[in-house]
Amino acid sequence: MKHTSPAAKRTATPFISDVKSLRERARHHIEQGAVSETYIGDVARTIEILQTVLATELVCVLRYTQHSIVATGIASEGVKAEFAEHAKEEHEHAMAVAERINQLGGEPDFNPTGLATRSASEYSTGSDLVTMIKENLIAERIAIDHYRELIRFFGDNDPSTRAMLESILAVEEEHASDMLDLLTTHGATKM
Ligand SMILES: [Fe+2]
Ligand SMILES: [Fe+2]
C-alpha cells in the first residue's frame, strides 16, 4: 500500500474559507461584480479567449443561416430545417458567451470587422448540399477541439466559464453527430 505523508495529505486537502472571511472578502472591491478574490485565473486573458469563442459562435450562426436559406435539391427541406435549428442554437451559445464576458467586466466584441479572423471556425459556403454538410461538420470539429482545450485550460481556476463551455461542447458534439448522420443519409461519408 502506498504511504502518504501527513504533509502531503495536508496539501491535497482543498482550503475552505470560514463564513466570516467569506463575508468580509465579499465586501471588498464590490465594483468587480462576479470577479472576487478566489478568481485564480487572469481575467483579461479569460475575456480575450471568450472573444474568440464569441466570434466562433457568431460565424457559425452566419454560416448555418446562409446554408438554411440557399440549400436546394432533392431532400433539402429536412436538411434546411436542421441547419436553421443549429443556427438558433449557435445564437444561444453566442449570447451565453457574451453574457459571461460582460459578467467578467469585459465588453463583448460583436464588431463585424475582423470577425472571421477572430473566429476559430470558418465561414464557408457550398454550391451543393453535401459540400454544405461537410463544411458544417468540419466547423463543428474545429469548435469541439477548441472548446475541449479551453475546458482543460480553465480547469478549477474559473469553474463557471468551464461549466458554460462544457454545456456548449455537448451541443457541438450533437451538431457534429447530426451532420455525420446527414452525410450518411446522402451517401457521402468519404471526404
Ligand atoms: Fe455553438
Ligand atoms: Fe455547433
The residue type at 18: D
- pLDDT of residue 133 exceeding 60: yes
Radius of gyration of the chain (CA): 21
CA distance 51 to 119: 9
CA of 65 relative to ligand 2 center, distance in Å: 12
| pLDDT tens-digit map of 73-117 | 767 888 999 999 999 999 999 999 999 999 999 999 999 999 999
- Do 67 and 136 meet the contact criterion of CB atoms below 8 Å apart? yes
Tell me how far the alpha carbon of residue 171 lies from the centroid of ligand 2, in angstroms.
7
CA of 20 to the centre of ligand 1 (A): 41
For residue 83, which ligand has an atom nearest its CA?
2
Place of cell 471568450: 50
CA distance 77 to 113: 33
Q: Say if residue 16 is exposed, middle or buried (CB neighbours under 10 Å; 0-12, 13-18, 19+).
A: exposed
Ligand 2 geometric centre to CA of 175 (Å): 5
Q: How confident is the model at residue 189 (pLDDT cuts 50, 70, 90)?
A: low
Ligand 1 centroid–CA 9 distance in Å is 41
At residue 2 the predicted structure's pLDDT band, cuts being 50, 70 and 90, is very low
C-beta atoms surrounding 132 within 10 Å: 26
Residue 160, pLDDT > 80, answer: yes
Mean pLDDT of 136-144: 94
The number of residues making up the chain comes to 191
DSSP string, 31-47: GGTT--TT--S-HHHHH
Inform me whether the pLDDT recorded for 1 exceeds 50.
no
In angstroms, how far is the first alpha carbon of the chain from the final one?
A: 51
Query: Average pLDDT for residues 152-168, to the nearest whole number?
Result: 95
- What is the Å distance from ligand 2's center to 23 Cα? 40
Does the structure show a pLDDT above 60 at 5? Answer: no
63 pLDDT band (50/70/90 cuts)?
A: very high
CB 54 within 8 A of CB 97: yes
Q: Which residues have C-beta under 5 Å from ligand 2, the single-atom ion?
A: 140, 172, 175
Closest by CA to 79, choosing from 144, 136, 142, is 136
Residues of the chain with pLDDT > 90, as a percent, come to: 64
Question: Has this prediction a pTM greater than 0.75?
Answer: yes
Cα of 4 from ligand 1 centre, angstroms = 44
Are 158 and 42 contacting, i.e. CB atoms less than 8 angstroms apart? no
The three cell numbers locating residue 61: 450562426
